[in-house]
A and B are shown apart, each in its own frame.
Chain A
Amino acid sequence: MTIFHRLRFRWRALVGRRRLEEEMREELARHLEQAVARQIERGLAPQAARRAARLEFGSPDVVAEECRESWGVRLVDELRGDLRLGLRSLRRSPGYALAVVSTLGLGIGANTAVFSVVRGVLLRPLPYDGGERLVALRQSAPQLGATDLGFSVLELDDYRRQLERVEAVVEYHSMNFTLLGGDEPLRVQTGVVSANYFDMLGVEPLLGRTFLPDEDELGAEAVLVLSHRFWRAAYGGDPTVVGRHFQMNDRPHTVVGVLPPLPSYPDANDVYMPASACPFRSDPDSLARREARAVTAFAKLAPGATLAQATSEANGLLARLRAEFAAAYPQTETIGIELSPVGDEMTRGARRTFLLLLATVGLILLVACANVANLALARLSDRGHELALRTALGGGRRRLLRQLVTESTLLAFLGGVLGLLLAWAARGLLVSFAARFSVRAEEIAIDATVFAFTFVVAAVTGLVFGSLPGLPGTDAPARALMAEGARSTGTRHRRRLRQSLVVGQLALSFVLLVVASLALRSLWRLNGVDAGFESENVLTAQIHLNWSTYTLDAHRLDRERVAAFHDRLATELRAVPGVVEVGNAWTFPLNAGFANSGQFEIEGRTSEERAPMVATQIGASRAYFEAVGVPLLRGDGFRGDERGEEPRVTLVNREFARRYFPNEDPLGERISGNGGRSWRTIIGIVGDVRQSDLREEAEPTTYLPFTEFPGFSSSIFVRTLGEPLLLERELRRRVLVADAQAAISGVETLEQVRSAALAPTALVTRLLALFAGVALFISATGLGGVLAYSVAQRTREIGVRMALGADPRRVLGEIVGEGLRTTVVGLALGLVAALAVARLMTGLLYGVSPADLVCLVASAATLLATSFVACLLPGRRALAVEPMHALRV
């Protein structure tokens, strides 16, 4: 209770200050009046009575001051004074204030910005109910190179029923369908999910509802839920879309709900449908065959269950299933199920990059802090008189220090405000930047946590740069008042401190230079990678046919008609002026989303020598290879009219030949991908193409004739004579003419595909280079400042030496030498730190070792050259010293 009372009293003392003050004055005056009255009673004349009372009770001002002290708010009072004084003294030197606030503003702003990204993407809990318990299930066979086999519907049933460490299991896969009923056919990426999918995620719809339990059942009416993004983009956020009917796969689909904004995970789906509505998923074959693995599984751990427990339970069940249904599992020793937290899945690849950037901007802030501390030290020398005077008048050392820290904190907070404004202004950029690394980018916001972060950073910054000048050895303000000669003791300490600050700056800049140069070199390496195709002058797009118009029965694609469509389209496009060749394939190069690998065997090899063999499978047309610029190295290409008749043929890439036929000629050999039921003859070898990632060497690949296996959703490639994008309209028009229900998406040039694959690396590299440049610039000004100061100190000495005929070059050499010595010390310290920091980058680099000598040398050269330039300016000022002028100073 007393604590509460005290706080209330202090609150009153702080807030109702004026009233309290007035009341005290009145009370004291009243007291004095009564004292006077008593003296008069005792017989004194009024004048004498007042005098006597005054004498007896002392000065009202002193009493008032003592009363104030007992209010317990003296510290706050002094702080107010310090702040007022600080503001006044900063207003007197606006240049200094501006330099400090803008330097710190940039430093803090960069930290706020990067932190807001880290917070939004890495730290914030997933926007799902119990998001930390959500896991992705991955069934893999490492020996076969299959990282994700997927699950079959039968398997998922077993996992859903028999696992106890997980609360729920949902199935998921994503397909492209054509949505009819709007203005034009829309290709929609459709998430096909079990009905409990959104319940497990704990997602409440924005409008309408999500799926009901019985909508999983075969034959249930087809319903759709729209993603927030698609709803806004395609229907302008119209709420009446709920209840509307659309035609999809020859069935009416009713929109029953709209989702709130969510991360585009697992895919950027436009709409969601229950599993029963998907023609592939409800195909009797998919439902009945245990080995028809086509869906992905997610699960939610039971409360209290650990990841390890659930993983071992799932693998136990897998072992039982393998024992029971041996034929349904690939023939390999190791099949396992991995459970991976969804939060990690979403930020895969982003974590390292963002943490590196956070560390980088942290270093920049340190460099900025050192610079500002240096400025503050220089200013302290100028303020020597003021501080000495205050010391002489009884200002305690701690009190003065507090004044300095108050001033620096004030500046740091102004810098923090500037930083917040900068980060806020850049938030759009931040989101689009982060979107290249993680689906959670939309969650980036300058929120309360980011505010608090900035506040703390600013406070620490203010403390650090404010108390540095007050370190022991610099407390010579009193001496500053004394004779000129006495000043040097204090300043020598101060100079040493300033020099160490500069050494620190240079060391940190070197670290940043090394980091940036490693990233740059790695980008060059990546840019120079031969991905195996000629990206110039090729237009590509995805064409999605309406599934239901190309089916034999409800579940089987009419390959003849799909192939005929593509044949017709390609023939027509070839007739367009400027078109060189037109090809088709299941996928396009550098498509990170494509994965289709399967096991196969080679005819005539005994099982002993048959190590598990896996290859990526791609359907490609005869003209694909020429259109994309993949060379036919040996043998023949496809004829272009293969329809599955014997002899069936296949092409393989060079990596396939190298790995599986190291000492033989693969041409004419036969392979089978279906356990020997049918065989394909290898008729040609083509060049390697990096199919999914610029960083990854080409996998062994087999190509199947596109005419035999056309895709109802596939890529088209148009090689042109001139600018490919000029043909975009023509391409779209021809596709619609060929089939009014065909949808087209992802129209871009192969150049664009390639640069998109480079973009994240290029962006990060550019940022790192920018950061290194900023740090280098700040450090150079710091070094220049310290040298300029030392030249100013030695004006007289230099003047005398010049008057006595010293060689100006030698004087210049001395100054520059001093600067370069400082730089070399910084460089040596930086080298140690750089080697440690660079090792953290290992996973981010491509084709460059973290201790790359070229990078180290280039960084050192850059640092030395910059320092040299920074030294020349003060050096030339030293040479310009007029001897007579110097002597008169």
Chain B
Amino acid sequence: MIDSRSDLLPGTLDLLVLRTLQSGPRHGWAISQRIEQLSDAVLVVTQGSLYPALYRLEEQGLIEAEWGSSENNRRAKYYRLTRAGRKRLANETENWERLSAAVARVLAAT
């Protein structure tokens, strides 16, 4: 299990959050669950790192928030990608793929 607080490369959490929002608006809990689920529980996003990240992204204008009601009819804050967020996601995804491919090549060589 990799803790999002210490073990991730900087910026990775932002990328993951943006990616999970690509398929539509989600609230905070759903984002963390989605990341955990997609990574087969390898990546655990604690609220201690998730919410500062969400506020940071909102402050940067990459996502925007709106209150709505959740599946069990409770009030919940939904996050949605903005246009700037989409652009950033595309960029960062490309960067990440280049980076991981490069790392993989280095590792394979030795």
Mark A residues whose CB is within 8 Å of B: 1-2, 5-6, 9-10, 23-24, 26-28, 30-32, 34-35, 56-58, 62-63, 66-67, 69-72
Contact = CB atoms under 8 A, between A and B. Distances in A.
Contacts of A31: 28-29, 32, 47, 51
Interface size class of B (residues with CB under 8 A): 20 to 34
B8 to A, nearest CB: 15
A659 B13 CA distance: 99
25 contacts: A1-B84, A2-B60, A2-B61, A5-B84, A6-B59, A23-B77, A27-B76, A27-B77, A28-B47, A30-B28, A31-B29, A31-B47, A31-B51, A32-B47, A35-B29, A56-B46, A57-B47, A57-B48, A63-B52, A66-B48, A66-B51, A66-B52, A70-B53, A70-B55, A71-B59
B74 interface: yes
A848 to B, nearest CB: 67
Nearest to A20: B55
B11 to A, nearest CB: 14
B61 A58 contact: no
Contacts of A58: 46-48
A2 B84 contact: yes
A746 B87 CA distance: 83
Scoring A6, A28, A34 by chain B CB atoms within 10 A of each residue's CB, the highest score goes to A34
Interface string B43-66: 000111001110110111100000
Nearest to A64: B51
Interface string B68-83: 0010001111000000
B48 A9 contact: no
Contacts of B51: 24, 27-28, 31, 63, 66-67
Interface in B21-50: 27-29, 32, 46-48
A704 B53 CA distance: 98
Given A23-B77, A34-B29, A70 B56 contact: yes
Report, nearest first, the 9 A-B pairs whose CB atoms are least far apart: A5-B61, A70-B56, A70-B55, A66-B52, A34-B29, A58-B48, A57-B47, A70-B52, A63-B48
B60 A30 contact: no
Nearest to B62: A2
Contacts of B58: 9
A58 B48 CA distance: 7
A245 B100 CA distance: 98
Given A31-B32, A56-B46, A63-B47, 6 more contacts: A2-B60, A5-B84, A6-B59, A26-B77, A62-B48, A69-B52
A67 B52 CA distance: 4
Interface of B: 27-29, 32, 46-48, 51-53, 55-56, 58-61, 67, 70, 74-77, 84
Contact of A30 (B29, B52, B53): B29
A71 B76 contact: no
A799 to B, nearest CB: 61
A71 B52 CA distance: 9
Contacts of A24: 51, 55
A2 B82 CA distance: 11
Given A57-B46, A62-B48, A27 B28 contact: yes
Nearest to B77: A27
Contacts of B46: 56-58
A67 B55 contact: yes
Nearest to A69: B52
Contacts of A2: 60-61, 84
Contacts of A34: 29
A349 B29 CA distance: 77
Contacts of A1: 61, 84
A28 B54 CA distance: 12
Main secondary structure of the interface of B (DSSP, over half): helix
A458 B94 CA distance: 53
Contacts of B27: 30
A62 B28 CA distance: 17
Nearest to B67: A23
A6 B57 CA distance: 10
A644 to B, nearest CB: 96
Nearest to B56: A70
Contacts of B53: 70
Contacts of A70: 52-53, 55-56, 59
A570 B63 CA distance: 97
A30 B47 contact: no
A286 to B, nearest CB: 78
B109 to A, nearest CB: 39
B60 A6 contact: yes
Nearest to B59: A9
A35 B61 CA distance: 28
Contact of B59 (A30, A66, A72): A72
Contacts of B47: 28, 31-32, 35, 57-58, 63
A24 B58 CA distance: 13
A164 B61 CA distance: 61
B71 to A, nearest CB: 10
B55 A71 contact: yes
A30 B74 contact: yes
Contacts of A32: 47
A26 B53 CA distance: 17
Contacts of A62: 48
A56 B36 CA distance: 14
Nearest to A66: B52
Contacts of A63: 47-48, 51-52
A30 B74 CA distance: 9
Nearest to A5: B61
A62 B59 CA distance: 20
B29 to A, nearest CB: 4
A447 B72 CA distance: 61
A841 to B, nearest CB: 58
A26 B52 contact: no
Contacts of A10: 59
A341 to B, nearest CB: 53
Contacts of B84: 1-2, 5
A601 B61 CA distance: 91
B93 to A, nearest CB: 19
Contacts of A5: 60-61, 84
Contacts of B61: 1-2, 5-6, 9
Contacts of B55: 24, 67, 70-71
B61 to A, nearest CB: 3
Nearest to A3: B61
Contacts of B48: 57-58, 62-63, 66
Nearest to B57: A70
Given A57-B48, A63-B47, A30 B56 contact: no
Nearest to B30: A34
A839 to B, nearest CB: 58
A63 B55 CA distance: 12
Nearest to B82: A5
A2 B61 CA distance: 6
Nearest to B47: A57
Contacts of B56: 70
Contact of A26 (B32, B60, B70, B75): B75
A249 to B, nearest CB: 78
A427 B48 CA distance: 60
B26 to A, nearest CB: 12
A62 B74 CA distance: 25
Nearest to A2: B61
A6 B84 CA distance: 13
Contacts of B67: 23
A72 B58 CA distance: 11
Contacts of B70: 30
A6 B61 CA distance: 7
A9 B58 CA distance: 8
A63 B67 CA distance: 21
A32 B47 CA distance: 8
A69 B48 CA distance: 12
B80 to A, nearest CB: 14
A530 B53 CA distance: 87
B92 to A, nearest CB: 15
A341 B54 CA distance: 64
